[in-house]
Amino acid sequence: MKASSDAFVRRLLLAVACTTVLCLLVIAAFIFKEGLPFLLKVGPGNFLFSSDWRPDSGHYGILPMLVSSLYVTFGALLVGAPLGIAGAIFLSEFGPPALARVAKPAIELLAGIPSVVFGFIGVMVLAPIIRGAAGGPGLSILAASLVLGVMILPTIMSISIDALAAVPQSYREGALALGATKWQAVRMVVVKAAGSGLLAGTILGMGRAVGETMAVIMVAGNAVRMPRSVLDSGRTLTANIALEMGYATGMHRQALFATGIVLFVFIMILNGLASSALKRRAGKR
């Protein structure tokens, strides 16, 4: 009885796992099937490095979108990484343990807030402030960076908290016994030991920023133009796909799939970096 139900569960799990992997493979294959021929016809160089995007007259250069995506992503990191890591360090090293116990689930809950809500707050609150304080249209790369920066906080914080919690207590005690202050021990030993975990959290947060679409569409302004400053309106790769998918046909449609390939490869690289950072930490112990 026990053994046979065990075998059944194992087979069920195997089937579920296979289905999941299969789904992902089918999606990837579909994107590549639609986008790859286009990419080869236009040439990856023209596609990636031309800044002329006029699908109706056969110009498919996604450079403005690529640049906007990079701007927004790194802007989000600039906001989210220091805040997230500092917050994680405070919670797990300096705050009362009770606070950390309450805060971690609360932070993870934050990750569940629908992105349209973040976008809404960005449009209603942030954009007018930016317009008033710095000029420009308000709906801008800066606004998108700030909104995304907050949105990736939960990812960065919760992985960072885990990474800090995994640092053996003996490292802290060792440093303190040598006459380090709490802060010195954290800065010179704990953060160092947790370094690759903090890095992995940041990279995963970055992946989230690259892929986020809804909130970005709402606050970034979406102009198809090379952004000249962070106060400019910009359109990211994901926003471009979402905005034009509805009416795109033929080559135009394929161009959007090719954009999907670019995003896909980008995310793959980021995840690869993150998991190798995490593995490095596991190997070090």
With binding defined as CB under 8 A, does residue 235 bind another protein?
no
With binding defined as CB under 8 A, does residue 178 bind another protein?
yes
Q: Which range, of 55-63, 73-81, 139-147, 189-197, touches another protein by CB under 8 A? A: 189-197
Q: φ and ψ at 112, to 5 degrees?
A: -90, -5
Tokens of 250: 């033929």
Answer for which of 105, 128, 168, 272 binds another protein (CB under 8 A) is 168
Answer for which of 104, 172, 208, 235 binds another protein (CB under 8 A) is 172
Residue closer to another protein (CB basis): 187 or 252: 187
The count of residues interacting with another protein (CB under 8 A) is 21
Which residues 6+ apart lie within 8 Å of 46 measured at CB? Answer: 60, 61
End-to-end CA distance of the chain: 41
Answer for which of 31, 111, 180, 267 binds another protein (CB under 8 A) is 180
Q: How far lies 123's CA from each of 129, 143, 172, 262, 279, in Å? A: 10, 9, 44, 28, 40
Q: Are 99 and 166 in contact (CB under 8 A)?
A: no
With binding defined as CB under 8 A, does residue 283 bind another protein?
no
With binding defined as CB under 8 A, does residue 101 bind another protein?
no
Q: Which range, of 102-110, 154-162, 180-188, 244-252, touches another protein by CB under 8 A? A: 180-188
Residue closer to another protein (CB basis): 190 or 230: 190
Residue closer to another protein (CB basis): 32 or 171: 171
With binding defined as CB under 8 A, does residue 199 bind another protein?
no
Answer for which of 19, 20, 184, 229 binds another protein (CB under 8 A) is 184
Q: Which range, of 49-57, 149-157, 165-173, 227-235, touches another protein by CB under 8 A? A: 165-173
Q: How far lies 50's CA from each of 54, 71, 232, in Å? A: 11, 17, 20
Residue closer to another protein (CB basis): 48 or 180: 180
**Shortest distance, CB of residue 199 to another protein, whole angstroms?**
15
Q: Which amino acid is at 46?
A: N
Answer for which of 176, 214, 243, 267 binds another protein (CB under 8 A) is 176
| HSE toward the beta carbon, residue 99, CA cutoff 13 A | 10
Count CB neighbours of 170 within 10 A: 9
Tokens of 91: 């919670």
Residue closer to another protein (CB basis): 253 or 280: 280
**Shortest distance, CB of residue 274 to another protein, whole angstroms?**
20
What is d(CA 178, CA 125) in angstroms, rounded to the nearest whole number?
A: 49
What is d(CA 120, CA 138) in angstroms, rounded to the nearest whole number?
A: 14
Q: Are 241 and 260 in contact (CB under 8 A)?
A: yes
**Chain positions contacting another protein, by CB under 8 A:** 97, 168, 170-181, 184, 188-189, 192-193, 284-285
